[in-house]
Amino acid sequence: MGCPAVKLDTLFCVRLDLTDDCYICTKQIIMINRFLDTYGFDGLKGFFLSLFPSFKYGVAGQTLSVSAVLGFISSLLGISAFLIPVMFVAVVIETWTGIKASKKQGIPFESIRFSRCVIKVFIWVSLFFMFHSFAMDMQAHDDWVHVAGFYFFEILHVATMMYFVIEYSTSILENLAVLDGKPKETLVVAFGTMFDNFISKMKGGRK
């Protein structure tokens, strides 16, 4: 049974693809959607999937798990600083392949498309800054609760950086598939299948 529509103002009603008859009607959401529309995003859902492309392919659980594990290992080894140039390279490659893929599809390069890239990077950097700030705030105290909080947010910070690299790699794979004349999901699905097979073999080897 779907949730009832809440009619605040028919002028500001926005439908989200939750259920056939489920509506969220707020002026704030329509304003956000209008803002995102000016940059070519298909509303909040389109922006979310552009920011986290792995959700389009049902592999979000795998990417989050890998990010958490690698983030934990990187924090223990103290190599998180090396992720900064890796992230920079990922942004450059994703932008370059995206321009090439758009050109192959006959889509002209426009400044608005570059603005989309800037907005997404800004969101990610905001997340990095937030988690790092929380960690630094916890580090200013020496009781066990704050010490535990520091390690939690520090690992979360590094895991988010790793997640950034994985999500941008997903976008790069989409662009490479288009450049190769294939459906954009081809390489992502192939890598997802390889990952699932690897995990299956690991589980089988433990029995």
Predicted TM-score of the model (pTM): 0.77
Residue 20: alpha-carbon gap to chain centroid: 26
95/114 Cα distance (integer angstroms): 8
According to the model, what pLDDT value does residue 27 have? 67
pLDDT of amino acid 205? 57
Q: Is the pLDDT of residue 93 over 90?
A: yes
Lowest mean pLDDT among 14-18, 37-41, 70-74, 146-150: 14-18
Q: In percent, how much of the chain has pLDDT > 90?
A: 30
Burial class for 170, CB neighbours closer than 10 Å (0-12, 13-18, 19+): buried
pLDDT number for residue 165: 93
Q: Kindly state the average pLDDT of the residues 74-97.
A: 89
Residues 47-60: tens digit of each pLDDT: 888 889 988 888 88
Q: Report the C-alpha gap between 199 and 194 in whole angstroms.
A: 9
Flag whether pLDDT at 16 surpasses 60. no
Query: Does the pLDDT value for residue 2 go beyond 70?
Result: no
> Where in 55-161 does DSSP place strands (E)?
none
pLDDT at 111: 67
One-letter identity of residue 43: G
Section 81-93 average pLDDT: 92
Q: How far apart are CA 48 and CA 57, in angstroms?
A: 13
The three-point CA angle 45-49-55 to 5° equals: 115
Tokens of 1: 């049974």
